[in-house]
Amino acid sequence: MSTPRVAMQDNEIFTAEHKQIRETVRKFANSLAPHSEEWDEAGIFPREVFKQAGDLGLLGIGHDEEYGGLGLDWWYTAAYAEELVHTNNAGVNMALMVQSDMATPIINAVGSDEVKREFLEPAIAGDKIAALGVSEPGGGSDVAAIRTTAKRDGDDYVINGQKLWITNGTRADFITLAVRTGDDGFGGISLLVFPTDVPGFTIGNSIKKIGNKSSDTAEIFFDNCRVPRRYLLGDENAGFYHIMTNFQGERLIAAVGGVAGMERSIRGTLKYASERKAFGRPIGKFQVWRHKMVEHLTSVEAARRLTYWAVDQFVKNPMGSTRAITMSKLFVGELMQKVLYDCMQLHGGFGYTTEYPIGRAWVDGRLITIGGGTTEVMKEILVKVEGL
């Protein structure tokens, strides 16, 4: 459903209903924040966090109400992404967003009623954990290079291959899996739901990352894994289209969350700068830092307007929003490197510790120029869109 809203230039895009979502997410995020450092050190967070999010309706904001979703448009997802930054833990946020906005939208869009009952409904409730299986050792953004195969055998598919960089991969109950069912190239890609209790499925070591540490990331392997053909999502060999549509939502939620994260880091830095003294006065009184921070606030506001334009385009026409979303992710990703660098620098030695959130934010924020399509891939997409 879509809710009327006033013009963007009035800076009042969101309605009272969006505010309710915001308040729910903010309260939830604040309840998790005290555990942030503990979960980063552990390299994982408790499974019950998914259930808590599911009980609040946060894992199915845009999904069909028939299966437990809220049936709301993407402006509500934007509000969710903006408020979730208050967890102070990018790994938790990424894991939850993989569940809500990367692994399950395809099932919601083209899965059969039977598949939705078996997988989507418990994922929305937080009873099952979902992962998205697209990237492989030989390719991430290059979906046409997928080599994991699914061969028909009677009423089953037999799957062989491996996937890499799989968020939630060490404990997912099912994977929305991209496989090759046809010839080489984008025309031979299909999607299916893969339950992880299938014989022949194995999980490699959890990948140790420099950031987003509480989010488990795994390499996974398929050795003659057999699943029923009824787990196919949409038509066979038509998966590339759905993956590309899914990428738009993944990139957009990264951009929206990135803007909110930058502003939160700046505000926290300004508070620190008003309290920390050097040479007899607060650091924030030095002109160099006052100027840097207002420049960054200006840039972040520009980034917010850009992402809101992209959200508007995505709500109106998901496949017609490539230009806006790609520009948003490119701009936000590169801006984040500058903003978080300066925020960390202002903190001095404390910024290089885990005592203050800015150190973790700086490391975590590096991923946005890599995950969901690198900065270089974003530029190449825009080159094609602009006919250059």
Phi, psi of 34 (to 5 degrees): -60, -20
Q: Alpha helices of 111-221 — where are they, by DSSP H?
A: 113-115, 121-125
* Vertex 21: Cα angle to 50 and 5 (nearest 5): 140
- pLDDT at residue 384, rounded to an integer: 96
Query: Is 50 exceeded by the pLDDT of residue 348?
Result: yes
Mean of the pLDDT values across residues 182-205?
A: 94
Tens-digit pLDDT profile for residues 264-304: 999 999 999 988 888 888 888 899 999 999 999 999 999 99
Phi, psi of 11 (to 5 degrees): 60, 30
Tens-digit pLDDT profile for residues 223-241: 999 999 999 999 999 999 8
Any idea which residues carry the catalytic annotation? 250
- pLDDT at residue 12, rounded to an integer: 67
In this structure, how many other beta carbons lie within 10 angstroms of the beta carbon of residue 191?
31
User: 138: pLDDT confidence band, cut at 50, 70 and 90?
Assistant: confident
Class of domain 8-129: mainly alpha
User: 140: pLDDT confidence band, cut at 50, 70 and 90?
Assistant: low
Mean of the pLDDT values across residues 123-132?
A: 98
Tens-digit pLDDT profile for residues 298-339: 999 999 999 999 999 999 998 899 999 999 999 999 999 999
Where in the chain are the domains? Answer: 8-129, 131-238, 240-385
Query: Is 90 exceeded by the pLDDT of residue 7?
Result: no
- pLDDT at residue 9, rounded to an integer: 37
User: Model's pTM, two decimal places?
Assistant: 0.92
User: 205: pLDDT confidence band, cut at 50, 70 and 90?
Assistant: confident
- pLDDT at residue 259, rounded to an integer: 98
Mean of the pLDDT values across residues 84-111?
A: 97
Q: Do domains 131-238 and 240-385 have the same CATH topology?
A: no
In sequence order, the 6+-apart residues with CB closer than 8 A to the CB of 217 are 165, 166, 167, 169, 170, 206, 207, 209
Mean of the pLDDT values across residues 203-222?
A: 94
Query: Is 80 exceeded by the pLDDT of residue 1?
Result: no
Query: Is 70 exceeded by the pLDDT of residue 159?
Result: yes
Class of domain 131-238: mainly beta
Question: By percentage, how much of the chain surpasses pLDDT 90?
Answer: 85
* Backbone φ/ψ region at 156: left (φ over 0), alpha (ψ -120 to 50), beta: beta
Query: Is 50 exceeded by the pLDDT of residue 208?
Result: yes
Tens-digit pLDDT profile for residues 17-68: 999 999 999 999 999 999 999 999 999 999 999 999 999 999 999 999 999 9
- pLDDT at residue 267, rounded to an integer: 95
Task: Find out whether 269 and 348 touch, Cβ atoms under 8 Å.
Answer: no
User: 364: pLDDT confidence band, cut at 50, 70 and 90?
Assistant: very high
Residues in the chain: 388
Question: By percentage, how much of the chain surpasses pLDDT 70?
Answer: 96
- pLDDT at residue 2, rounded to an integer: 41
User: 161: pLDDT confidence band, cut at 50, 70 and 90?
Assistant: very high
Query: Is 70 exceeded by the pLDDT of residue 4?
Result: no
Q: Which two tokens stand for residue 73?
A: 């448009």
SS3 35: helix
Class of domain 240-385: mainly alpha
